[in-house]
Amino acid sequence: MRIITLAGSPRFPSRSSALLEYAREKLSALDVEVCHWHLHNFAPEDLLYARFDSPALKTLVAQLKEADGLIVATPVYKAAYSGALKTLLDLLPERALEGKVVLPLATGGTVAHLLAVDYALKPVLSALKAQEILHGVFADDSQVIDYQHKPHFTPNLQLRLDNALETFWQALHRRDVQVPTFHQPQGIAHA
Ligand SMILES: Cc1cc2nc3c(=O)[nH]c(=O)nc-3n(C[C@H](O)[C@H](O)[C@H](O)COP(=O)(O)O)c2cc1C
Domain assignment present for residue 127? The answer is yes
Kindly indicate the confidence band of residue 191, based on its pLDDT and cuts at 50, 70 and 90: very low
Q: Which amino acid is at 62?
A: A
Rg of the chain taking only CA atoms, in angstroms:
18
Domain assignment present for residue 189? The answer is no
Largest CA distance in the chain: 70
Mean pLDDT calculated for residue range 142-162: 97
Domain assignment present for residue 101? The answer is yes
| Percent of the chain whose predicted confidence (pLDDT) is above 70 | 92
Cβ(113) – ligand 1 distance below 6 Å: yes
Cα of 59 vs centre of ligand 1, distance in Å, is 29
Kindly state the helix (H) or strand (E) to which residue 5 belongs, with its residue range. strand 2-7
pLDDT of residue 187: 54
Domain assignment present for residue 186? The answer is no
Q: Is 191 helix (H, G, I), strand (E, B) or coil?
A: coil
pLDDT digits (tens, 9 = 90+) for 107-123: 999 999 999 999 999 99
Cβ(111) – ligand 1 distance below 6 Å: no
Check whether 177 has a pLDDT greater than 80. no
Helix 15-29 and helix 155-176: axis angle, to 10°?
50
Domain assignment present for residue 188? The answer is no
Summary mean pLDDT of the chain: 94
pLDDT digits (tens, 9 = 90+) for 42-90: 999 999 999 999 999 999 999 999 999 999 999 999 999 999 999 999 9
Q: Angle 83-3-156 (CA atoms, 0-180°, nearest 5)?
A: 70
Mean pLDDT calculated for residue range 143-166: 98
pLDDT of residue 175: 80
Distance CA 145, CA 154 (A): 7
Instruction: Give the residue, by CA position, lying nearest to ligand 1 atom 30.
Output: 77
Within 8 A by CB and 6+ apart from 70, the residues are 3, 4, 5, 6, 64, 97, 100, 101, 102, 103, 130
Question: Could you tell me the CATH number of the domain that includes residue 32?
Answer: 3.40.50.360
Check whether 182 has a pLDDT greater than 80. no
Cβ atoms within 10 Å of 131's Cβ, excluding its own: 14
Number of domains in the chain: 1
Please give the residue range of the domain that contains residue 89: 2-176
Cβ atoms within 10 Å of 12's Cβ, excluding its own: 11
Instruction: Give the residue, by CA position, lying nearest to ligand 1 atom 3.
Output: 77
Cα of 120 vs centre of ligand 1, distance in Å, is 15
Nearest of 168, 171, 120, 162 to residue 19 by alpha carbon: 162
Instruction: Give the residue, by CA position, lying nearest to ligand 1 atom 29.
Output: 77
